Amino acid sequence: MQPSPSSHPRPAPSATPAPAPAEVGRPPVTVRAFTGDFAEVPRHWLAGSPAATHLANGVNLLFPAGERFFVRSVHHFAERVRDPGLLAAVRAFSQQEGRHAHAHDRVADTLRAQGFEIDDFLAWYTRTSRRFESWISPELRLAVTAASEHFTAIMAEDALRGGVIDHADPAMRALLAWHAAEEIEHKAVAFDVLRQVAPSYRLRVTGLAFATLFLGAYWALATRMLLRQDGVSVPAALRQLRALRAGQADVGILRRVFARGIRDYLRRDFHPDDSDTYHLVAAWAARGEPRVTEVAARRADAHA
């Protein structure tokens, strides 16, 4: 294997513990609370577009169960993590993801208040994803998590670079920016644990295949359900998205997440730090967000 062109030094996957965040120029994985209120979020909160809103709402509905799956998958291997920096990051990762799940549960409550019938879909989604989880090995669960975290890191990069999110309702914009910043902070945690406990390229790619299949299918089904309840056909939704792109409110996120995400992840020497997006977190933090409060940072670090 040739060394990665990334400027971040990385140890051989099968021999050396994964580096602590400070050793690769990452910011610490910092736990924060989001206190925003979604009571005044309008029905079409993203660019005034049902299509763009429900594309975002569709993935929002997946986050709570998905984030909890990620935590279970990584936590299963916590006792095998020997590097203190990575172990602290694993614990903070779990706290971050738990708070993300709770915040997106509140978004789901807002959708219910707006009249959307989402509970049958969520029950089916949770039931089928838990069944899949029970069928596969802990190592494959971790590989699916690492690949999924790669996809969410690309979504996060999009969110913090602006574009269509600049046209979002303020409360939702604040939620997505907070979530995005923390996804970037911990984007390498699951991957580094996988690299330490099961450094197999075949396993990593198998995890990518499952992550792509399930994220794509569940996201499409959730979006279609919401559009149907809003009286918007798929052709009409596609026309709305094309109009937004023509007006520079870019919504080409699916192409970037899946096309770019898969291409990069298939490289044998891939690492999440190859795309250095940590400056986006620093810029977000510097702007300040009154709905976000740092919590439990010392408790997370104390386990190192």
Per-residue model confidence (pLDDT) at position 166: 87
Q: Residue type at 176?
A: L
pLDDT value of position 246: 64
pTM of structure:
0.87
In whole numbers, what is the pLDDT of the chain averaged over residues?
A: 88
Instruction: Say what the pLDDT of residue 207 is.
Output: 98
The Cα–Cα gap between 141 and 117 comes to 30
Please tell me the predicted confidence (pLDDT) of residue 12.
38
138: Cβ–Cβ under 8 A, 6 or more apart, which residues?
A: 73, 76, 77
Contacts of 6 (CB under 8 A, 6+ apart): 271, 273, 274, 276
| pLDDT tens readout for residues 51-107 | 999 999 999 999 999 999 999 999 999 999 999 999 999 999 999 999 999 999 999
Q: Which of 21-35, 134-148, 187-201, 281-295 has the least mean pLDDT? A: 21-35
Domain ranges of the chain: 30-301
pLDDT higher than 50, residue 287:
yes
Say if residue 249's pLDDT is above 90. Answer: no
Confidence bin at 20 (pLDDT 50/70/90): very low
- Altogether, the residues listed in the chain come to a count of 304
Residues linked to residue 292 through DSSP beta bridges, in sequence order = 34
Report residue 202's pLDDT band, with 50, 70 and 90 as the boundaries: very high
Q: Is the pLDDT of residue 9 over 90?
A: no
30-301 fold: Ribonucleotide Reductase, subunit A (1.10.620)
Whether residue 286 has pLDDT greater than 90:
yes
10 has pLDDT over 80: no
- On the question of pLDDT at 132 being above 50, the answer is yes
Residue type, 33: A
Is the separation of the CB atoms in 58 and 216 below 8 Å? no
Flag whether pLDDT at 304 surpasses 60. Answer: no
Q: Which of 253, 245, 233 is nearest to 55 (CA)?
A: 253
Phi and psi at 36, nearest 5°, equal -65, 155
Query: Tokens 């998590």 map to which residue?
Result: 145
Confidence check: pLDDT of 245 > 80? no
Angle between helices 201-229 and 119-135 (to 10 degrees): 170
27 in Cβ contact with 294 (< 8 Å): no
Q: What is the mean pLDDT of the segment spanning 180-204?
A: 97
Q: Both ends of the chain: CA-CA distance in Å?
A: 31
The answer on pLDDT for 298 being more than 70 is: no
31 and 296 Cβ atoms separated by less than 8 Å: yes
Contact assessment for residue 198 and residue 140, using Cβ atoms and an 8 Å cutoff: no
According to DSSP, residue 19 is labeled P
Cα 86 to chain centroid distance, Å, stands at 19
